[in-house]
Amino acid sequence: MRFLCDVHIPIALSKRLAKAGRESMHVNQLPAKRHTSDKDIAHLADREDRILITKDTDFRDSAIVQGTPRKLIKVNLGNIPHKELSAILFDNMEHIASLNERPRFLLEVDKGRLSVIDI
C-alpha cells in the first residue's frame, strides 16, 4: 500500500507508515511543500495509486463529485494526538488493505467508528 499524507496530517504518521513497510510520503516532502494545490495532490495520489489521508473536507467533496482522489481516508477527529490517530489507522490496517483492492473508496474516520462511503 502507498500513502500520501496531506499537510494537516502529522509527518510523524507518514514516517511511522514507512517504518512499518508501507510506502508513504507527506505533502511537505513535495517540491512546493504545503503550497501544493489540492488538485496537484489529488492527481499525484491517483497517478501513483496512493491512498490520500487528509482532514480537508474539500478532498471528500472532490472525491464524491469529481472522482478524484480515487482512494481517500478522511479524518474527522480534529486535533487528535498523532499517537491516537496512528493507533486507529494501524488497528484498522487490514480493513484499509481490503479497501485498497477497490478502484475507488472513501473511508471516513470518526470517533469510535469508521464509515465506508461508496463513491
**pLDDT(118) > 90:** no
Q: Structural domains in the chain?
A: 2-117 (3.40.50)
Looking at the chain, the whole-number percentage of residues with pLDDT higher than 70 is 100
C-alpha cell recorded at residue 19: 517504518
Q: What are phi and psi of 113, to 5 degrees?
A: -160, 145
Model pLDDT, residue 79: 87
For 86-95, what is each residue's pLDDT tens digit?
999 999 999 9
> For the whole model, what pTM was predicted?
0.96
Compute the CA torsion angle 54, 9, 24, 50 (nearest 10 deg). Answer: 10
Closest CA to 16 of 101, 93, 99: 93
pLDDT in tens, 36-84: 999 999 999 999 999 999 999 999 999 999 999 999 999 999 888 989 9
**Rounded Cα gap, residues 61 and 56, in angstroms:** 9
In this predicted structure, what is the pLDDT of residue 57?
A: 96
Task: Please tell me the distance from the alpha carbon of residue 92 to that of residue 83, in angstroms, as a whole number.
Answer: 14
CA distance 100 to 84: 22
